[in-house]
Structure 1
Amino acid sequence: MASIVVRPKAGGSSTFQVKWREGGAWQTERFGDVDSAEAFKKLVEAHGGRWPHGWVRGQGFVEPDTDPDDVPLIEWAHRYADRLTGIDERTRKDYKRDIDNHFTPVTHTRADGSVMTYGGIVHTDRSGTRAPATLCTVTQDDVTDWVRAQETTVKDPDDPSRTLWRKASPKSIANRHGLLWCIFQAALDATPQLRATNPCAKTSLPRTDSGTEEEMTFLEHDEYARIVAEMRAFDPAAADLCDWLVGTGMRWGEASALQTRDLNLRAGTVSVQRAWKRQEDNTFALGPPKTKKARRVIALTGAQMDMLRRYVAGRGPEDYVFRGGQGKAWRHSNFYHRKWERALKEATAKGLTKKPRLHDLRHTHVSWLIAANIPLPAIQNRLGHESITTTVDRYGHLVRALDGEITAAVEAAMSTPAGSGLRQVV
């Protein structure tokens, strides 16, 4: 077993020495902080009380050709994705697509024959030389360089009007970084351990709230009415589906998967039990909702109940409530292009200044509830968010219910004479 010995220094600081016996002789390695020493201690123990493969005393892991367990980063990343359990094949395919598109460097040959590399993860050694990234050589600096590259648009030097690499949004960068973190964590959890630390652990990521207003559109009541009026003029059933989306806050995949058996006409509720899921071959199949809490019961208004009674009269338990042609469930792309875009075009021609997506009807539903002073925990349950943090992060900036009380309290405090209420102590 290895141990950590604290070695005080003259200036008051300390170093941390990892000490163990190998072949009857004491072996030691020093670190400037206890976390690094603890990580190395576990690495020694995982290698049976021996120096980890590829580790050079005083230097750490050296370049990959000295470590027999090292592999190219992309190869290890694909192994990680292939071994994941508890996910559907569509999700696995998406992970591998991100690995190939965003972790693998892209090369571009210029007009003069020189080659430029951009976009992916590369390793820069101490001398500044860039080399292909491997599992054991990637450092925290390499990950930081990759994040910065994701934030940058790359133009073709020979044709500035041509974009070679478009910068990613903060949310996309955070999602890709999360996948990369899991890939390296798998190397830490392997037996024997393949890395001493996770190079993604201390990455400073761009703020994910910088694009919130651009990503979400909130419609006022009159703005939504303008859109749905145009739709009702050419397809009343499509307009009813939009009324349902904005009136319940359900996701498209949930609403379009609703079946007659999900309705409780006596209680005035609808139960969300399934949703459409995209498959590996790009088709759709019914599956569970997005999260555990997405399985929920939603209370309905009298008008919504009246609409449902019209739709489900004479239908079987597994018939879809909202249907397109031939009694089949609506597909998002068909509804969006044939109904939503047409209504939006007409409404824009008559003065609508916003360009909402179908999913913005869910956001609009929340904004209306917040305007009516509905508490965020109640909104979380209605939307099926797994955590209240999601609700607060997305919609907390809309909460203005206590503005009057807050300003009144501040005004009262500020108007109190400075010395009133204070007892002089002699």
Structure 2
Amino acid sequence: MASIAERPKKSGAITFQVKWRQDGQWQTENFRERPAAEQFKALVEAHGGQWPHGWVRGLGFVEEPAIPGDVPFPDYATRYVDRLTGIDERTREDYHREVRIHLSLLRHTDHAGREHSATIGNLTQEDVTDWVRVEEAGERDPEDPERWRRRPADPKSIANRHGLLYCIIQAAIDAEPQLRTSNCCKRTKLPRADDHVEEEMTFLERDEYQRIAAEIKDPDARDLADWLVGTGMRWGEASALRVSDLNLNGERPTVSVQRAWKKAKKGAPGGSFFLGPPKTKKARRVIRLSPAQVEVARRHAAGRQPDDFLFRTATGRNWRHSNYYHRKWQPAVAAAVAKGLPKKPRLHDLRHTHASWLIAGRIPLPAIQIRLGHESIQTTVDRYGHLVLSLDDDIADAVEAALGVPEQRAGLRSVG
């Protein structure tokens, strides 16, 4: 319980001091008039013996100064996405969804602990940290705690959304007139991507892949699976190959990756997918083919026009991911598992498997980066660096050779 004590001053005036214990420490606030002290005492007691939310000691409830030209954060973020260039409409739609569902959760808490709607100008580093924690925790349905209203986000999703937020804030800094002077996302400590186990990569040994491949009874579907695991191409790249992308008559037979299937904006004419550029600039690449891959390519290109898709269904149409996965890949994996296969790989794990085979063959990571079309070597290291264990002995031998002291030859004496 709080109490009020009269504190006389040397001038003869009386100060009314409200006093209470909070977390084991005495807290006080002074007032010139008893009614104000009584009102504050009631506020402290109503807050369970705590400072009233939003109260600044010695100042009372203080409003933050308005920021010239400030606008609500969701409005600014929406306009930022609308004005982006160099992206397809499906990507723009995805960004709008991230703003609407996730970045809209941002709130600003002032120095007094009061919560406000986020604006482009009032967001702080602490606000961004609070948002990250909200994303990590998720939100349960208050009427049914066993159900999620919004599931916890995985570290990769949080990092992607934080990257979008960073760009939005930076745009406000670069704006004319300037709306901010610093980026509140610069020092955010994001959750580590390896702190979770969802969507783990599956690496197949050669015999494990063969056990799955043997269950793919459609020869054309089997060829496509062999191509994916043998080239490391993404599904959207391999299924978008045209006959004209092949160069099989030179000394070094190759295939050029020039395009990939992309998800279209919902309701877009032409269906759910369209042909666009590969995932990144470095995904445009030329891949050397093995003799077995050249034979597969020749067989599928025979009698076809340059613009025809290289890999086709029995009806002559290009493969769709859902069709191939549900009708060819998934049944083959299930059959192999029923016969004792200890893994259940996704279709994309063929790409990871290809990388693991290259690492087992001691191919350097920079070469694997080029082969897979990763924009950054960091991506290659982050995903596959832990597999580079076979080089440990070579590294140890190299260090030993560099640090070892050579034996002194006969007839020579040391100097110094």
Q: State the TM bucket, normalised to the shorter chain.
A: 0.7 to 0.9
Using the TM superposition, give the Cα deviation of residue 163 of structure 1 relative to its aligned residue in structure 2, in angstroms: 1.6
The residue number in structure 1 matching 2:232 is: 249
Contact 2:64 2:110 in 1 (8 A): no
1:319 to 290, 305, 308: 308
2:293 to 289, 304, 321: 304
Q: Give, in whole Å, the separation in 1 of the partners of 2:388 and 2:198.
A: 15
The residue number in structure 2 matching 1:69 is: 69
Please tell me whether residue 96 in structure 1 is matched to residue 96 in structure 2: yes
Please tell me whether residue 146 in structure 1 is matched to residue 135 in structure 2: no
Q: CA 1:146–1:153 in 2, change beyond 3 Å: closer, same or farther?
A: same
1:170 to 155, 163, 166: 155
Contact 1:93 1:280 in 2 (8 A): yes
Q: Give, in whole Å, the separation in 2 of the partners of 1:415 and 1:377.
A: 29
SS of the equivalent of 1:209 reads: helix
The residue number in structure 2 matching 1:394 is: 383
| Paired residue type of 1:330 | W
Q: Give, in whole Å, the separation in 2 of the partners of 1:89 and 1:75.
A: 19
1:148-201 per-residue CA deviation (whole Å, 9 max, x = no partner) reads 111113333442211222111111111000000111111111111111211111
* TM alignment of 1:114-129, pairs within 5 A: 120-129=105-114
Contact 2:154 2:196 in 1 (8 A): yes
Q: CA 1:413–1:254 in 2, change beyond 3 Å: closer, same or farther?
A: closer
SS of the equivalent of 1:161 reads: strand
The residue number in structure 2 matching 1:276 is: 261
The residue number in structure 2 matching 1:4 is: none
Contact 1:64 1:70 in 2 (8 A): no
Q: CA 1:85–1:411 in 2, change beyond 3 Å: closer, same or farther?
A: closer
SS of the equivalent of 2:274 reads: strand
Contact 1:253 1:277 in 2 (8 A): yes
Q: Report the TM-score, using the length of structure 2 for normalisation.
A: 0.77
Contact 1:81 1:96 in 2 (8 A): yes
Using the TM superposition, give the Cα deviation of residue 68 of structure 1 relative to its aligned residue in structure 2, in angstroms: 4.6
1:235-279 per-residue CA deviation (whole Å, 9 max, x = no partner) reads 121111000000000111110011111111212211111111222
Contact 1:230 1:343 in 2 (8 A): yes
| Paired residue type of 2:220 | A
Please tell me whether residue 206 in structure 1 is matched to residue 195 in structure 2: no
Using the TM superposition, give the Cα deviation of residue 124 of structure 1 relative to its aligned residue in structure 2, in angstroms: 1.0
Contact 1:274 1:288 in 2 (8 A): yes
The residue number in structure 2 matching 1:337 is: 326
Using the TM superposition, give the Cα deviation of residue 229 of structure 1 relative to its aligned residue in structure 2, in angstroms: 0.7
Please tell me whether residue 227 in structure 1 is matched to residue 216 in structure 2: no
| Paired residue type of 1:279 | A
Using the TM superposition, give the Cα deviation of residue 321 of structure 1 relative to its aligned residue in structure 2, in angstroms: 0.7
1:15-48 per-residue CA deviation (whole Å, 9 max, x = no partner) reads xxxxxxxxxxxxxxxxxxxxxxxxxxxxxxxxxx
Q: Which runs of 5+ in 1 are unaligned?
A: 1-61, 105-119, 417-422
Q: Give, in whole Å, the separation in 1 of the partners of 2:157 and 2:393.
A: 37
Q: Which runs of 5+ in 2 are unaligned?
A: 1-61, 406-413
The residue number in structure 2 matching 1:8 is: none
| Paired residue type of 1:344 | V
Q: Give, in whole Å, the separation in 1 of the partners of 2:295 and 2:394.
A: 39
| Paired residue type of 2:192 | R
Please tell me whether residue 238 in structure 1 is matched to residue 238 in structure 2: no
Using the TM superposition, give the Cα deviation of residue 414 of structure 1 relative to its aligned residue in structure 2, in angstroms: 10
Q: Report the TM-score, using the length of structure 1 for normalisation.
A: 0.75
Using the TM superposition, give the Cα deviation of residue 103 of structure 1 relative to its aligned residue in structure 2, in angstroms: 1.4
SS of the equivalent of 2:102 reads: helix
The residue number in structure 2 matching 1:109 is: none
2:174 to 173, 189, 198: 189
Using the TM superposition, give the Cα deviation of residue 386 of structure 1 relative to its aligned residue in structure 2, in angstroms: 1.8
Q: Give, in whole Å, the separation in 2 of the partners of 1:63 and 1:323.
A: 66
Q: Give, in whole Å, the separation in 2 of the partners of 1:373 and 1:248.
A: 16
Q: Give, in whole Å, the separation in 2 of the partners of 1:243 and 1:128.
A: 59
Q: Give, in whole Å, the separation in 1 of the partners of 2:263 and 2:404.
A: 60
Please tell me whether residue 263 in structure 1 is matched to residue 246 in structure 2: yes
Counting aligned pairs with the same residue, the percent is: 64
Please tell me whether residue 374 in structure 1 is matched to residue 363 in structure 2: yes
Using the TM superposition, give the Cα deviation of residue 325 of structure 1 relative to its aligned residue in structure 2, in angstroms: 4.9
| Paired residue type of 1:135 | I
Q: Give, in whole Å, the separation in 1 of the partners of 2:232 and 2:63.
A: 53
Q: Give, in whole Å, the separation in 2 of the partners of 1:146 and 1:334.
A: 39
* TM alignment of 1:26-37, pairs within 5 A: none
Using the TM superposition, give the Cα deviation of residue 79 of structure 1 relative to its aligned residue in structure 2, in angstroms: 0.7
Q: CA 1:183–1:413 in 2, change beyond 3 Å: closer, same or farther?
A: closer
The residue number in structure 1 matching 2:82 is: 82
1:1-26 per-residue CA deviation (whole Å, 9 max, x = no partner) reads xxxxxxxxxxxxxxxxxxxxxxxxxx
Q: Give, in whole Å, the separation in 2 of the partners of 1:408 and 1:200.
A: 44
Contact 1:64 1:137 in 2 (8 A): no
Q: Give, in whole Å, the separation in 1 of the partners of 2:200 and 2:240.
A: 25
Using the TM superposition, give the Cα deviation of residue 409 of structure 1 relative to its aligned residue in structure 2, in angstroms: 5.6
Q: Give, in whole Å, the separation in 2 of the partners of 1:414 and 1:254.
A: 47
* TM alignment of 1:397-416, pairs within 5 A: 397-408=386-397
Q: Give, in whole Å, the separation in 2 of the partners of 1:385 and 1:66.
A: 45
Q: CA 1:415–1:336 in 2, change beyond 3 Å: closer, same or farther?
A: same
Q: CA 1:121–1:266 in 2, change beyond 3 Å: closer, same or farther?
A: same
The residue number in structure 2 matching 1:54 is: none
Contact 1:256 1:330 in 2 (8 A): yes
CA RMSD of aligned residues (A): 2.4
| Paired residue type of 2:101 | N
